[in-house]
Amino acid sequence: MRTVYVNGEYLPENEAKISVFDRGFLMADGVYEVTSVLDGKLVDFEGHAKRLERSLHELDMASPVTTDELLAIHRELVQVNQLDEGGIYLQITRGAPADRDFAFPDPEETPSSIVLFTQAKNLANAPSAQAGISVISIEDIRWGRRDIKTVQLLYPSMGKMMAKKAGADDAWMVEDGQVTEGTSNNAYIVKGRKIITRQLSNDILHGITRAAVLRLAKEAQMEVEERGFSIEEAQGADEAFITSATTFVQPVVTIDGSSVGTGQPGKIALRLREIYIEESRKKAL
Ligand code: PMP
């Protein structure tokens, strides 16, 4: 049985409890992060901690722990659960006031809630990374602050189900004719040696993996262009791929039933995946 962390305590997962009045549960009033673990070490903890701080700040929510404490909790969970490879899920909500009310509770009276748990998963040798994934396109009907990593995940979750129903692996969301991002990842296409991905704004999550992969691509003398692209342009590209903390880099081989490039995982996507994993193993702590 897993040990999880809830509001200052390490508990067996079946003994960990959150109040029915918790605003995360009632109103999706919460933020989260997922940090991957390779060889029992944390990949880019600093990046995730910084983005968490920003998400909290944007929602005027207090953190119940310092960044140092957060790191210690992550490490403790990896150790007690003997996690070699997988992810650590972290969630902070605006706590559990006495009653349900749309107005925020006074943070002096209602402290934020915090939960962390581990999930074991095969990351480096995920089969989908070798085979490539298929995506469908769906309309992006999410709210306008997608840069904040909130637990409001109903639409992305519905998007995954739409993909599943269509026999695909995932969905890319489209707004005003251009791809924003995948349901739980950032989206890219490759033309020649140029990597194209949507520019940062409130329209997409600022992926921690995205930042690392773009930096590594530039270091490897690849060209990077940050701009939007349409589904038609993606279908006609040489390659396509996604990035996220738990998928790293994964090639996209089909978009709305049409093959991308040769229909096989692209060379650049696979090379970026290799470099990213290599660097992550080296820098993980
Ligand atoms: N976009 C969305 C909508 C996501 O949910 C995620 C993963 N949480 C990402 C992009 C990728 O972000 P990261 O590389 O930080 O995991």
Give start-end residues of each CATH 3.20.10.10 domain in the chain.
Answer: 127-283
Give start-end residues of each CATH 3.30.470.10 domain in the chain.
Answer: 3-120
Integer angstrom CA distances of residue 212 from 80, 156, 217? 29, 23, 9
The pTM of the full predicted model, rounded to 2 decimals, is 0.97
Helix (H, G, I), strand (E, B) or coil at 187: strand
Which amino acid makes up residue 213?
V
Q: What is the pLDDT of residue 189?
A: 98
Pocket test for ligand 1, best of 152, 183, 198, 244 (most atoms within 8 A of CB): 244
Please tell us whether the domain made up of 127-283 is placed in CATH 3.40.50.970: no
Give the rounded percent of residues in the chain with a pLDDT score beyond 90.
100
Report the C-alpha gap between 43 and 57 in whole angstroms. 23
Confidence of residue 261 (pLDDT cuts 50, 70, 90): very high
Alpha helices (runs of H) in the chain, residue ranges in sequence order: 23-27, 45-58, 67-80, 127-131, 154-165, 208-219, 231-235, 267-283
For residue range 41-56, what is the model confidence (pLDDT) as tens digits? 999 999 999 999 999 9
Cα 99 to averaged position of ligand 1 atoms, centre (Å): 33
Q: What is the pLDDT of residue 88?
A: 98
> Closest by alpha carbon to 38, among 243, 283, 216?
283
If one counts every other C-beta atom within 10 angstroms of the C-beta of residue 260, the result is 27
For residue range 11-31, what is the model confidence (pLDDT) as tens digits? 999 999 999 999 999 999 999
Q: What is the pLDDT of residue 22?
A: 98
Q: What is the pLDDT of residue 223?
A: 98
Q: What is the pLDDT of residue 60?
A: 98
For residue range 210-249, what is the model confidence (pLDDT) as tens digits? 999 999 999 999 999 999 999 999 999 999 999 999 999 9
Report the C-alpha gap between 133 and 269 in whole angstroms. 12
Q: Which two tokens stand for residue 267?
A: 């060379």
Cα 184 to averaged position of ligand 1 atoms, centre (Å): 5
Cα 162 to averaged position of ligand 1 atoms, centre (Å): 19
CATH, domain range 3-120 = 3.30.470.10
Confidence of residue 131 (pLDDT cuts 50, 70, 90): very high
Q: What is the pLDDT of residue 277?
A: 98
pLDDT, the chain, mean: 98
Report the C-alpha gap between 94 and 66 in whole angstroms. 16
Strand order of the β-sheet with 30-38 is: 9-12, 3-6, 113-120, 86-93, 30-38, 41-42
Ligand 1 — pocket residues by CB below 6 A? Answer: 34, 181, 184-186, 205, 207-210, 243-245
Pocket test for ligand 1, best of 205, 213, 241 (most atoms within 8 A of CB): 205
